[in-house]
Protein backbone atom coordinates (compact mmCIF):
# COMPACT_ATOMS: atom_id res chain seq x y z
CA UNK A 1 0.00 0.00 0.00
CA UNK A 2 1.33 3.45 -0.88
CA UNK A 3 0.88 6.31 1.54
CA UNK A 4 1.11 9.78 0.05
CA UNK A 5 1.96 12.77 2.19
CA UNK A 6 1.82 16.35 1.02
CA UNK A 7 0.14 17.64 -2.07
CA UNK A 8 -1.17 15.07 -4.52
CA UNK A 9 -2.03 16.08 -8.06
CA UNK A 10 -3.40 14.36 -11.16
CA UNK A 11 -3.20 10.66 -10.60
CA UNK A 12 -5.18 7.93 -12.29
CA UNK A 13 -5.46 6.05 -9.02
CA UNK A 14 -6.45 7.51 -5.70
CA UNK A 15 -6.88 6.17 -2.22
CA UNK A 16 -6.95 8.16 0.97
CA UNK A 17 -8.51 8.49 4.39
CA UNK A 18 -8.18 11.88 6.02
CA UNK A 19 -9.72 13.90 8.78
CA UNK A 20 -10.61 16.86 6.63
CA UNK A 21 -13.01 19.27 5.03
CA UNK A 22 -14.38 19.76 1.55
CA UNK A 23 -12.98 22.88 -0.09
CA UNK A 24 -13.79 24.83 -3.24
CA UNK A 25 -11.46 25.25 -6.22
CA UNK A 26 -10.38 28.75 -5.17
CA UNK A 27 -9.36 27.55 -1.70
CA UNK A 28 -7.58 24.53 -3.22
CA UNK A 29 -5.52 26.85 -5.43
CA UNK A 30 -4.74 29.06 -2.43
CA UNK A 31 -3.58 26.10 -0.34
CA UNK A 32 -1.43 24.71 -3.14
CA UNK A 33 0.09 28.18 -3.48
CA UNK A 34 0.87 28.15 0.25
CA UNK A 35 2.79 24.87 0.09
CA UNK A 36 5.87 26.41 1.78
CA UNK A 37 3.79 27.62 4.72
CA UNK A 38 2.09 24.23 5.12
CA UNK A 39 5.06 21.92 4.52
CA UNK A 40 5.96 21.89 8.21
CA UNK A 41 2.44 20.65 9.03
CA UNK A 42 0.65 17.40 8.28
CA UNK A 43 -1.99 19.18 6.19
CA UNK A 44 -2.42 17.75 2.71
CA UNK A 45 -4.77 18.37 -0.17
CA UNK A 46 -6.57 15.53 -1.92
CA UNK A 47 -8.76 15.15 -4.97
CA UNK A 48 -11.48 12.56 -5.36
CA UNK A 49 -11.19 10.15 -8.28
CA UNK A 50 -13.08 12.57 -10.45
CA UNK A 51 -11.96 16.13 -9.75
CA UNK A 52 -15.59 17.17 -10.21
CA UNK A 53 -16.59 15.04 -7.22
CA UNK A 54 -14.54 16.82 -4.60
CA UNK A 55 -11.48 18.57 -3.33
CA UNK A 56 -10.36 18.21 0.26
CA UNK A 57 -7.86 19.51 2.79
CA UNK A 58 -7.02 17.35 5.75
CA UNK A 59 -4.59 15.29 7.74
CA UNK A 60 -3.83 11.71 6.74
CA UNK A 61 -5.08 9.45 9.53
CA UNK A 62 -2.05 7.18 9.14
CA UNK A 63 0.06 10.03 10.56
CA UNK A 64 -1.81 9.87 13.88
CA UNK A 65 0.53 9.06 16.77
CA UNK A 66 -0.32 6.56 19.50
CA UNK A 67 -1.03 9.30 22.03
CA UNK A 68 -3.24 11.40 19.71
CA UNK A 69 -6.99 11.41 19.33
CA UNK A 70 -9.06 12.29 16.26
CA UNK A 71 -10.14 15.48 18.05
CA UNK A 72 -6.49 16.52 18.36
CA UNK A 73 -5.97 16.02 14.60
CA UNK A 74 -9.13 18.00 13.84
CA UNK A 75 -7.89 20.89 15.99
CA UNK A 76 -4.45 20.73 14.33
CA UNK A 77 -6.10 21.03 10.91
CA UNK A 78 -8.28 23.96 11.98
CA UNK A 79 -5.26 25.74 13.50
CA UNK A 80 -3.04 25.19 10.45
CA UNK A 81 -5.67 26.34 7.97
CA UNK A 82 -6.56 29.37 10.11
CA UNK A 83 -2.87 30.32 10.23
CA UNK A 84 -2.79 30.58 6.42
CA UNK A 85 -6.09 32.43 6.18
CA UNK A 86 -8.59 29.62 5.52
CA UNK A 87 -11.46 29.62 8.02
CA UNK A 88 -12.73 26.18 9.03
CA UNK A 89 -14.98 25.21 11.93
CA UNK A 90 -14.01 22.26 14.10
CA UNK A 91 -17.46 20.70 13.65
CA UNK A 92 -17.01 20.69 9.85
CA UNK A 93 -13.96 18.39 10.00
CA UNK A 94 -14.87 14.75 9.34
CA UNK A 95 -13.46 11.45 8.14
CA UNK A 96 -13.23 11.50 4.34
CA UNK A 97 -12.18 8.50 2.31
CA UNK A 98 -11.93 7.76 -1.37
CA UNK A 99 -10.58 4.81 -3.25
CA UNK A 100 -10.59 3.40 -6.68
CA UNK A 101 -9.15 3.76 -10.13
CA UNK A 102 -10.04 6.12 -12.91
CA UNK A 103 -8.14 5.00 -15.94
Q: Are 93 and 21 in contact (CB under 8 A)?
A: yes
Q: Where are the alpha helices (DSSP H) in 1-103?
A: 25-33, 35-38, 70-83
> 7 in a domain, yes or no?
no
> 77 in a domain, yes or no?
yes
> 5 in a domain, yes or no?
no
User: 31-57: string of b/e by CB count within 10 Å (b at 16+)?
Assistant: beebeeebeeebbbbbbbbeeeeebbb
Query: What is the domain range of residue 90?
Result: 15-94
Tens of pLDDT, residue by residue, the chain (103 residues): 444 555 555 555 557 888 999 998 888 888 888 878 888 888 988 877 655 567 899 999 989 999 999 999 999 999 999 988 999 999 999 998 876 544 4
> 10 in a domain, yes or no?
no
> 101 in a domain, yes or no?
no
Provide the domain count of the chain.
1
Amino acid sequence: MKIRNGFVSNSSSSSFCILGVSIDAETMNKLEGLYKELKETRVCTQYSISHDEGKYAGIDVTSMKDDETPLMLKQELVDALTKVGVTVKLEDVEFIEDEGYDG
